[in-house]
Amino acid sequence: MKLKFVNPKKLKVLMAVFFGVGLWGIVFGLWLGNFATTSSQSLNYFMVVILGVINLLLGGLVSYLFLTQERKIDPRKDSKYKRKK
């Protein structure tokens, strides 16, 4: 699967956001899920944990893109090869 080259700085920011929010969601859901008194509250905290896991998976996908992408330099667009006017 070929994807367009994405600036590595943007990918690093996305990785940090996905991993941070994912870990926060898992910890928050598990910690407050212990204090739930009704089944509907328990289900809400379970959904927060599930969404945290989804965020971790998205962070893993962005990490994979960051580690495997290659920048292909086109000599026609590279300033080193342009003719001076």
Per-residue pLDDT tens digits for 7-25: 999 999 999 999 999 999 9
Distances (CA, A) of 59 to 20, 25, 40, 85: 9, 13, 29, 46
Range of the domain at 41: 15-67
Confirm whether 80 is domain-assigned: no
Confirm whether 54 is domain-assigned: yes
Give the list of residues 6+ apart from residue 49 with CB closer than 8 angstroms, or none: 25, 26, 29, 30, 33
Question: What's the gap between Cα 69 and its chain centre?
Answer: 15
Alpha carbon distance 55, 26 (integer Å): 10
C-beta separation of 31 from 25 below 8 A: no
Confirm whether 10 is domain-assigned: no
- How many domains does the chain divide into? 1
pTM of structure? 0.77
Alpha carbon distance 85, 77 (integer Å): 15
Confirm whether 5 is domain-assigned: no
Share of the chain above pLDDT 90, in %: 54
Confirm whether 22 is domain-assigned: yes
Mean pLDDT (the chain) is 86
